[in-house]
Amino acid sequence: MNIELEKSYRLLRFLNASKPHWFKVLFGYFSKLYLFVLGLPPAYRQDTFNLVFEDNGIKIAVRRFIWALHTSWVPIHMRSDYFFDISEHLGKKASLSLVEWLEDNKHILGFERSIWCADLASGLIDKQHENELTFRLTPDDESYQYDRHFKSNINSAVHDIDRLLEKEMETSKVIHFKKLKDSFNKEEAYSALRDTRALFTALGWEWFVISGTFLGAVREQDFLGHDYDIDIGVLYEEFDMAALSAAVNESESWSIKSSSQCLYRTPQANDDVIYHRMEKPILVKIKHHTGLIVDVFIHVRESGLLWHGSAIHRWDNKDFGVAEYFLGKESVKGPDEPDRYLTENYGDWRTPVKKFDCSIDPPNISYSNTAKSVSYLLKVTYRFLLNGEREQARRYIDTMTEKGVLARRDGHLLFED
């Protein structure tokens, strides 16, 4: 049986909300029992128990539950959460035990085993060098072997995708749980905007709305009805993570949900691999007391561009200043040449579309040369294949090839030689 879930704003808000200690204790012991019944290794069960008591831990634990159900002996496949990086907040001991468990798992397909082993390998590298901005891996390093595992498993996953694109996949009945009509709560969003203004004014940083939030300000003079969060930008030269953390800790309205620092991967001609990361994060998610998330994208000026992104995507815009706009009753700042900015991001932005894929549809899309990027894009491609959406899967592969993530040599698709 395949089960397909869709996002629910109410569920996201519940998972993002703070929980009392007693709830975390009960949830922690439930998680150990649940994962024991599903046959997950002891180190993974204990790691998940410990995770529950960390910030944002319950939400990650729930995603682990869905993933564990999908890979277990239970004949249920939760097809909604293939995008999950199982290495997130996972310790070394639990990661290694999970690799061994996956290799012996008879309930999952080759692509899934390969992509999840790749995630675990890249996660081990990240954790082992988390305090280093730049490092070179050579054959003598333990992390070099993890990188080889990552490359080998990604190539196996790419081979499976290429093979599946050439044949009709068997599909079984999918049960869809549609999201409720519980779209963006605009009153809460206005409240979050006011508190965002207060937070960043106290820090002395200029901030501006971007992406879908800015599209709503220009086209609707309000939030888009299908939004789940608020997208804002700040400048790299102004951003200071320690200052933001201190301001958030002093506030009753905010907490930091997560921060992303891209770990860029650059293979060398002599088979060494150089990894590097910027000194500052590229994306910080802050959580409002209402449960609403504000995505703070750190914008980098480079060669006439002002770009922003994540560990997966990068969106390039020509450098811009800011001007004033309105989101409902709240005044905000946004890019001062709206037509140019929105055309760069959306093409024909004046015409609403029902489906817009932020990974391949933006004209200004490129991809971060990170392990997370190629893994995520392949997972989405695979999900489209499972859903029978072959043309959309091909669009992903064609775009990844065009952008240099993948290459086709002698008729075969590959990640790296």
Question: Do the strands 2-5 and 254-260 form a parallel or antiparallel pair, or are they unpaired?
Answer: unpaired
Give the model's pLDDT for residue 181.
Answer: 47
For 144-201, give the DSSP string.
HHHHHHHHHHHHHHHHHHHHHHTSPPP---EEEEPPPS----HHHHHHHHHHHHHHHH
CATH dotted code for 186-352: 3.30.460
Give the model's pLDDT for residue 180.
Answer: 45
Domain extent listing, the chain: 2-177, 186-352, 376-414
Q: Which uninterrupted H or E stretch holds 276?
A: strand 273-276
- Integer Cα distance of 363 and 264 in angstroms: 23
Q: Which of 279, 360, 359 is nearest to 312 (CA)?
A: 359
Give the model's pLDDT for residue 13.
Answer: 63
Give the model's pLDDT for residue 81.
Answer: 64
Give the model's pLDDT for residue 9.
Answer: 54
Q: Is 289 exposed, middle or buried (0-12, 13-18, 19+ CB in 10 A)?
A: middle
Give the model's pLDDT for residue 226.
Answer: 75
- Integer Cα distance of 191 and 5 in angstroms: 29
Give the model's pLDDT for residue 295.
Answer: 96
Residue ranges in the chain whose pLDDT is less than 50: 177-182
Give the model's pLDDT for residue 355.
Answer: 84
Q: What is the pLDDT of residues 186-200, one digit of tens each?
A: 889 999 999 999 999
Q: What is the pLDDT of residues 127-180, one digit of tens each?
A: 999 999 999 999 999 999 999 999 999 999 999 999 999 876 665 555 554 444
Give the model's pLDDT for residue 56.
Answer: 77
